[in-house]
Amino acid sequence: MNLSFMDDMKIAHKGLHDLSKAIPENTLISIKEAMDKGYSIEIDVHLTKDNKIVVIHDDNLLAMTGVNKKVKELTYSEISKYNIKNSNEKIPLLEEILTLVDGKVMIFIELKTYYNVGPLEKELVKLLDKYDGKFAVQSFNPFAVRWFRRNRPEYIRGLLSCGFDFDKYNFIKRVILRNLWLIGVAKPHFVSYEISDLNDKKVKKIRSKNVKLIGWTIENKEMYEKALKLCDGIVFEKLTTF
């Protein structure tokens, strides 16, 4: 698959957001801000109780709305009652984002599939099979990426990784994921790796697989300059100039 169009691509992390200006992340308004500047966008998706795909980073509404409830335990109708903090924005459906973007920029869709691979993926392809525009699916879960390799091999797919310096996974799982030991399971077209944990050894391993390399999340000039030397494209946070 020829992904040369991704070279030097700049991808706005959760859109161009700034909560102090009432522009929350992963919303229609943050996506429009990014589109207006010609940036590609990265968004996160979860599945609701009634199998709707919503665009939100966490599996809980707490950080965005102040309501301590799980996305999977609510219907979309219930979720749509809550405003995002410091704004009048709502948590959008992926379908709304796709309608807004309408092929104008590329969308990178991160599936928050932690354990149960299949339900979110199956609902997602119902939308993406009908979408006329460039997109990629990506996940930290190699088995979620493998699902697309097996069921939608024509989709551009990416494997996300980082240092995994947190307690969500046990030590063995963190070692496996940070070292990309399951890259052969996923067989991604690109790897998106946290720039602060990216070194020459990891770059060499990724390049040996003949895949594109994206660095995330670029937050300052120093990180950007490092990414320029190592990566094909970048995911950035709130930056407006390079």
In the chain, the DSSP E strands lie at: 10-13, 40-47, 53-55, 107-111, 135-139, 156-161, 190-194, 212-218, 233-236
Strand 40-47, strand 10-13: pairing:
parallel
Phi, psi (deg, nearest 5) at residue 34: -65, -45
Please report the sign of the dihedral spanned by the C-alpha atoms of residue 108, residue 114, residue 119, residue 122.
Answer: positive
Note the pLDDT tens digit of each residue in 22-43. Answer: 999 999 999 999 999 999 999 9
Q: For 155-202, how does the pLDDT look when each residue is reduced to its tens digit (9 = 90+)? A: 999 999 999 887 677 889 889 999 999 999 999 999 999 999 999 999
> What confidence tens digit (pLDDT) does each residue in 53-90 have?
999 999 999 999 999 999 999 999 999 999 998 899 99
Contact 68, 74 (CB under 8 A): no
Would you place residue 237 in the very low, low, confident or very high pLDDT band (cuts 50, 70, 90)? very high
Q: What are phi and psi of 17, to 5 degrees?
A: -115, 155
**pLDDT band of 239, cuts 50, 70, 90:** low
* pTM more than 0.85: yes
| CA–CA dist 38, 162 (Å, integer) | 27
CA-to-CA distance for 97 and 8, rounded, in angstroms?
24
**Contacting residues for 116 by C-beta, under 8 A, at least 6 apart:** none
Mean model confidence pLDDT for the chain: 95
Q: On the CB side of 173, how many CA atoms lie within 13 Å of its CA?
A: 10
